[in-house]
Amino acid sequence: MATPRKPSATARTYDVVLYGASGFVGRQTVAYFAKLGYTLKPDGTPLRWALAGRSADKLEAVKKACGPGAQDAGVVVADAHDVPALEALASQAQVVLSTAGPFALYGSELVAACVKHGTHYVDITGETPWVRDLIARHHKAAAAQGTRIIPFCGFDSVPSDLGSWLVATTMQAQHGQACERIKASFSMLGGVNGGTLASALNFMGGEQRSLLDDPFLLNPPGSKTPPAADHADVKLPVYDSDFKAWLGPFVMAPINTRVVRRSAALLTPSRGRPTHVTSKLYGKDFSYQEYMRFGGGAIAGAAATAFSAGMFSSQLAMKLSAVRKVAEKLMPGPGTGPSEWAMNNGSFRCELVGTSAQGHVVKARLADKGDPGNRATTKMVCESALCLALQLDELPGGRSYGGLLTPASGLGQVLVDRLRAAGMKIEVD
């Protein structure tokens, strides 16, 4: 199949199109853009953006609710399965930011349209089997034409992926060595969206469920570091002397660990991978694990044990279709989420410890206020889109680099700087 030529950037009507703008997170992305104020691009012209989704009435209502900051925004109507409408949308946009999920249900035709029209793309999916399919279908074409398709730009998996990359780049800068091992611990306070539960139920019930256990699901061919058992997901509680805390399994680790491993592979110089990476950031036998953090005392140990047992049994139960059917009835539906109060009072903290083969240690921390699945996710994905819309020439690999990328490999330091400027605490020792 011939690789499509990328249409000229100046021909696009919008710099960023927010797809899924009527959804629970989508509405927050519109509010985020409405608050940006008058933003100039490097060429001195103002940033132009639009809301998009399947219902013109809903989009107009969201636009109105977001006040004067949204009054100049465009509105683009395209159902997730209407290919001509999606192609028209992609051809008008420099960058598409999608929050329309479950992505396995509403995302595939949109990504195909973006690749066809050379439109950069970011989203907030955590659906690893779906992304594996995207890699198989589009990585080559997107890489050949310099189009960046970057899933996982929300709470899964920006803190894990950018945090690990920061630890690895600091290890190389300070000690001239690659990281052999990185571990991360998470503490968080937040609610759950109906859309997130719908996505989880969709992939737990799908044919690809068994793929979730593959620790290298997203790795390019030839980049696995066996034995796989060393990379298996954490199931049991453990006391960790680096974190000085009891740790247990983290619910998002089966997503985040796959993303970090893909970054390590994409950022390791080798045949067929980018030439812009000159030093070795991740070691030959690189391993990454992440955990939920409990406190340091005996009660924390008991909590970690109880949590691990609860998570194991709920994951087993969700494999049963009868349990999923009951859950579907009881859980909040799509379009719903935590209250404003809960979203404003949530928080997250991610701590990382990296070690080189020679025993050097680098530590990093990322933290922010606000519900991680909503406030932090909105900030992360909007700033990711703005990296592509406003700072394309500064991104890793320059203008011609593309493919099915990760936040670290596709956005790197530019995203770190933008998130810091947007109030996220990002510190490296």
Ligand X SMILES: NC(=O)c1ccc[n+]([C@@H]2O[C@H](COP(=O)([O-])OP(=O)(O)OC[C@H]3O[C@@H](n4cnc5c(N)ncnc54)[C@H](OP(=O)(O)O)[C@@H]3O)[C@@H](O)[C@H]2O)c1
Q: Which residue in the block uniquely carries the two structure tokens 């035709």?
A: 109
Query: Does 346 sit near ligand X (CB under 6 A)?
Result: no
In angstroms and rounded to an integer, the radius of gyration of the C-alpha atoms of the chain is 21
Report d(CA 26, CA 99) in Å as an integer. Answer: 6
Cα dist from 44 to 40, 47, 63, 68, 71, whole Å? 6, 9, 25, 22, 21
Which of 254, 283 has the CB closer to ligand X? 254
Which runs of E-coded beta strand occur in 318-389?
A: 347-356, 361-369
> Is the Cβ of residue 202 or residue 305 nearer to ligand X in the bound state?
202
Does residue number 99 form part of the binding site for ligand X (CB under 6 A)? yes
Looking at the DSSP bridge assignments, the partners of residue 74 are 50
CB nearer to ligand X: pick between 74 and 334: 334
Minimum CB–partner distance for residue 23 and ligand X (Å): 2
Task: Closer to ligand X by CB, 55 or 270: give it.
Answer: 55
Please report, as residue ranges, which positions from 372 to 391 form the binding site for ligand X (by CB under 6 A).
373, 377
Tokens of 323: 């349990």
On whether the CB atoms of residues 281 and 268 are closer than 8 A, the answer is yes
Instruction: Characterize the bridge pairing of strands 403-404 and 14-19.
Output: unpaired
**199/268 with CB nearer ligand X:** 199
Of 155 and 250, the one with the shorter C-beta distance to ligand X is 155
**Binding of ligand X by 154 (CB under 6 A):** yes
Distance CA 171, CA 179 (A): 7
The pair of three-digit structure tokens given for residue 164, joined into one six-digit string:
């690990």
Report the half-sphere exposure of 337 (CA within 13 A, side-chain side).
21
Among the listed residues 69, 74, 206, 335, the single contact to ligand X using CB under 6 A: 335
What token pair was written down for 54?
Answer: 């399947």
Instruction: Tell which positions 186-215 bind ligand X, by CB under 6 A.
Output: 193-196, 199
Which residue from 12, 48, 54, 117 is in contact with ligand X, where contact means CB under 6 A? 54
| Residues 55-94 contacting ligand X, CB under 6 A | 55, 58, 79-80
Listed ranges 32-40, 83-91, 333-341, 394-402: which one lies at the site for ligand X (CB under 6 A): 333-341
Q: 106 vs 286, which CB is nearer to ligand X?
A: 106
Cβ-based burial of 256 (10 A; exposed 0-12, middle 13-18, buried ≥19): buried
* DSSP per residue, 50-118: EEEES-HHHHHHHHHHT-GGGTT-EEEE--TT-HHHHHHHHHHEEEEEE--SSHHHHTHHHHHHHHHTT
Q: Which stretch binds ligand X (CB under 6 A): 87-95, 100-108, 268-276, 286-294?
A: 100-108
Does residue number 279 form part of the binding site for ligand X (CB under 6 A)? no
* Residue 393 amino acid letter: D
Please report whether residue 20 would count as binding ligand X according to CB under 6 A. Answer: yes
Q: How far is the CB of 379 from ligand X (least distance, A)?
A: 11
Query: From CA 154, how far away is CA 380, in angstroms rounded?
Result: 6
Closest contact distance (angstroms) between CB of 92 and ligand X is 16
Between residues 4 and 194, which has the closer beta carbon with respect to ligand X? 194
Segment interacting with ligand X, rule: CB under 6 A, options 2-10, 23-31, 183-191, 292-300: 23-31
Site for ligand X in 112-151 (CB under 6 A): 124, 126
Residue 366 binds to ligand X (criterion: CB under 6 A):
no
Give start and end residues of each alpha helix (H) in 117-152.
128-145
Residues that bind ligand X (CB under 6 A): 20, 22-26, 53-55, 58, 79-80, 99-103, 106, 124, 126, 154-156, 193-196, 199, 334-335, 337, 373, 377
